[in-house]
Amino acid sequence: MPKVNRKFPNMNLIVPPDDPPLVQPPPTSNLKRSTKIRINGTTIEIDPENTKPVKQLGHGAYGFVELIEHEPSGIQLAVKRICASKVSDQDRLFRDMDVLVKSQGCPHIVEFYGAIYWENNLCLFMEILDASLDKFYKLAYKLISNNKNNDGQQNDHTNAIPEPVLGRTAYSVVSALHYLHQMRVIHRDIKPSNILINRHGQIKLCDFGISGYLVDSVAKTFEAGCKAYMAPERLVPNQKGYDIRSDVWSLGLTLFEIATGKFPYPTNDLFKQIKSVYEDDPPKLPQGRYSQQFHHLIAKCLEKDHQQRPNYLQLLEFDFLKTYQNSDISDFAKYVLDSELVNETQTPPPAAVAVAPVIESNCLATSPPSSSSSSSSSTTIEMDNSITTMSNNNCNNNNNS
């Protein structure tokens, strides 16, 4: 087989801007074995010889993610390593990297620092957050289950995740999705494990390995994503396409799950899940536990007819999002995340990095979904198109959606 010359985007100096990035020509130079990145105002040069592994954060069929330390500065960051041997893995990895590069102006999308190519491995460097929402809500419900009433009975009607956290989550994810839509990108894999949170209460979207590009506002690829969270229109064969409102359905399921602590559909049989999504009425929140504004948001996101679902700009006008978009949830985030440290006598829990797990397209949601079997996603390396052009879209820009 003839050797193929591969071009890599130039990531030798990526500085996350305070303002939306300007459109620039696509880089053409190859990735090198070292790169300069800027973290919190400090520029450092990353080289395989000046970093050391701290611990592994995750692994899977496409590679692994680990926490590393830049020895000269002591700065720690996450690196995702993928062997660049399979074209399918390259495609997924490059798509992930492409979206991350374009999204540097959005505070609701994980921060990407740069990349190197070394010994047939592509290494992506990203910020570290403390947990995925999948892990976070399980910790919160574990805390609730450990808190008994005075009579010793567990209170089954206590909401482990308060509405300000749900509202801040909804606002952050919708803002990130709207930013992607301005670049004609659809995420296609919205679920709790692809949303990250840190102790500062920041919530960010990650994992763009199966994102797609919209043509006339429509996506064509039906197999991408986790079927348990797919909208009904994506489960119907012979459809001509779907639009961003399929991700609105997935967001509705995600908010439902983290609010109630359980996935609302059958969890032990993928066929039953799909059948229930397609044939049954949408799930409804328990009465008496949530505000009418939250009930309204979930009901609209889970409209089975996609034409009845709101788009991102319409969602940003919902009272629930407007009420909680600036909520400070840092105290609650610290309370939940630090609860795990109480039982950890050696090292802190592995951080959830800005690299979400790979979930195959026929993945099965559990109740609650488990992240233990997930693996890290991948991307492509080939530079056939000018898709590394920076975007000038503002994450909070309210253009037409």
* Sign, CA torsion 379/200/186/38: negative
Task: State CA 106 to chain mean position distance.
Answer: 13
pLDDT at 352 over 90: no
Q: Over the stretch 271-292, which tens digit does the pLDDT of each residue have?
A: 888 889 888 999 999 999 999 9
pLDDT at 179 over 90: yes
Considering the candidates 130, 189, 243, 247, report the single residue annotated as catalytic.
Answer: 189
**Domain map of the chain by residue range?**
13-129, 131-376
Helices (H), 183-263: 245-260
Phi, psi of 124 (to 5 degrees): -105, 130
pLDDT value at position 80?
Answer: 81
- DSSP state letters, 178-227: HHHHHTTEE----SGGGEEE-TT--EEE---TT-EE-BTTBB---S-S-G
* Sign, CA torsion 377/177/132/41: positive
Helix (H, G, I), strand (E, B), or coil: what is residue 51? strand
Is residue 189 annotated as a catalytic residue, yes or no? yes
The per-residue pLDDT of the chain, averaged, comes to 75
pLDDT at 159 over 70: yes
Please give the Cα distance from 111 to 100 (Å, whole number). 7
Q: Give the CATH number of domain 13-129.
A: 3.30.200.20
pLDDT at 370 over 60: no
Q: pTM of the entire structure? A: 0.76
* Whole-number percent of the chain with pLDDT over 70: 66
Q: Over the stretch 92-147, which tens digit does the pLDDT of each residue have?
A: 777 788 888 888 889 999 999 988 887 778 888 989 888 889 999 999 999 888 77
Q: What H or E segment, with its residue span, contains residue 69?
A: strand 63-70
- DSSP state letters, 20-38: PPPP-PPP-SPP-S-EEEE
The packing angle between helices 163-182 and 292-301, to 10°, is: 40
125 forms bridges with which residues in the sheet? 79, 114
- Least-confidence region, from 34-48, 74-88, 107-121, 187-201: 74-88
Among 180, 249, 251, CA closest to 217: 180
Please give the Cα distance from 79 to 337 (Å, whole number). 22
pLDDT value at position 291?
Answer: 97
The mean per-residue pLDDT over the stretch 285-304 comes to: 96
First to last CA, the chain: 46
Largest pairwise CA distance in the chain: 74
Per-residue pLDDT band for 323 (boundaries 50, 70, 90) equals: very high
Per-residue pLDDT band for 167 (boundaries 50, 70, 90) equals: very high
15-43 burial, b at 16+ Cβ within 10 Å, e below that, comes to ebeeebbeeeeebeeebeeebebebeeee
What is the CATH superfamily name and number for domain 131-376? Transferase(Phosphotransferase) domain 1 (1.10.510.10)
Q: Over the stretch 206-252, which tens digit does the pLDDT of each residue have?
A: 887 776 665 544 444 545 557 788 888 877 766 666 778 889 999 99
pLDDT value at position 353?
Answer: 44
pLDDT value at position 13?
Answer: 34
Binding residues for ATP, by number, are 80
Please give the Cα distance from 381 to 8 (Å, whole number). 6
Tell me whether the omega of the peptide bond preceding residue 368 falls within 30 degrees of 0, making it cis: yes
Which DSSP state fits 103? T
More confidently predicted of 361 and 45:
45
